[in-house]
A and B are shown apart, each in its own frame.
Chain A
Amino acid sequence: MGIFDFLKPRAPNSASVAKERLRIIVAQERAQRDAPDYLPTLRRELLEVLKKYVNVDPDAIQVKVSQEGGHELLELSVALPDKAGG
């Protein structure tokens, strides 16, 4: 770092951007990796059914499988749209 460096335009630190992006995508992919293969299809079919009744967003459905005290737990959560939006 030279004393005249402030005259140069400062480049953003791209390594930390890379690290942050990777941290998020890797965590997301690890979560999917351990999940059963049927989850994406299940999620898509649930969405089809829900759409018949409410106008939900494609990413409003969260399907998660987790381990709890020796048994598996399938967790579904659906965020319903606001009254104005629905």
Chain B
Amino acid sequence: MTEIIVVTSGKGGVGKTTSSASIAMGLARRGKRIAVIDFDVGLRNLDLIMGCERRVVYDFVNVIQGEATLRQALIKDKRFDNLHLLAASQTRDKDALTKEGVERVLNDLKEMGFDYILCDSPAGIEKGAFLAMYFADRAVVVVNPEVSSVRDSDRILGLLASKTRHAETGEKRVVQHLLLTRYNPERVERGDMMSIVDVQEILGLEVLGVVPESESVLAGSNAGNPVILDLTSPAGQAYDDAVARLLGETVPMRFTEAPKKGFLTRLFGG
């Protein structure tokens, strides 16, 4: 049984691709067979974040248009051979993705026996974002503790509840998860960043995970090694916890509180 998961957010720059790459690696490390698809036609980037940009020969649109087979286009990860990437096309033709074409590729991936198909959505609510979420069984909505990101997430949650295949057939609903990234506990404590509880209350949804703002995220992207591979970093561990929860495990939240200050810092302020 294959499960289709969309990673989406509405707003750009909140960490969708970073999160997709880490979740994909995390699932693969736990032994799951996983295919991850970059839906951002014209702005391919997941390949770069995952460190396989030089091995892209054929892409998603080539497969949809019959110019390559799915097996030719899937790029096997060098670290986990149960992880495959289908890169986005760099074409500027916005209509390159069709609902029928996407459905066909997803069905073929299901037949190949993948446990999970992860769809990395582009920003916005245009065609690419719509198609990335349309066939999903579950959604991971990436949100930053910041006003525009939270508002856009609510809009996306509304679309997930109405503009997806499950919503249209009415048989099931898309399971929704919130992934709070770029979280800074010190700033929350000072009162200049919304807290986990604030975001949960506004969106009416519990968080799947909270990823602290961390320098290791950029370092990971720089090297093409998603941060989840760095289990010494809090962000990497937080992503790994989120993946465990995605698989149904109960894992306590970590890195959500500011480190305790020493006596002198408390006395004189910090």
Binding site for B on A (CB under 8 A): 1-5, 8, 11, 13-16, 18-19, 21-23, 25-26, 29-30, 33
The 10 tightest CB contacts between A and B, nearest first, are A2-B269, A13-B191, A19-B198, A14-B192, A2-B268, A33-B158, A15-B194, A26-B154, A22-B202, A15-B191
Q: Is there contact, CB below 8 Å, between A1 and B266?
A: yes
Q: List 24 A-B contacts (CB under 8 A).
A: A2-B267, A2-B268, A2-B269, A5-B269, A8-B269, A11-B191, A13-B191, A13-B192, A14-B191, A15-B194, A18-B146, A18-B194, A19-B201, A19-B202, A21-B147, A22-B150, A22-B151, A22-B202, A23-B201, A23-B202, A26-B150, A26-B151, A30-B154, A33-B155
> If the complex has contacts A15-B188, A22-B147, A33-B158, are A4 and B269 also in contact, measured as CB distance less than 8 A?
yes
What total of chain B residues lie within 8 Å of the partner, measured CB to CB? 23
Interface string of B181-209 (1 = CB under 8 A from A): 00000001001111100100111000000
Separation of A8 and B158 alpha carbons in the complex (Å):
43
Q: Is there contact, CB below 8 Å, between A3 and B267?
A: yes
Beyond known contacts A30-B158, A33-B158: 20 more, CB 8 A cutoff: A1-B269, A2-B265, A3-B267, A11-B191, A14-B192, A15-B191, A15-B192, A18-B146, A18-B147, A18-B198, A19-B194, A19-B201, A19-B202, A21-B147, A22-B151, A25-B151, A26-B150, A26-B203, A29-B151, A33-B155
**Interface SS of A by simple majority:** helix
Which among A13, A18, A29 is the interface contact of B154 at CB below 8 angstroms? A29
Separation of A13 and B147 alpha carbons in the complex (Å):
14
Question: How far does the Cβ of A32 sit from chain B's closest Cβ, in whole Å?
Answer: 10
* Most central of B188, B192, B193 by chain A CB within 10 Å: B192
B66: interface (CB < 8 Å): no
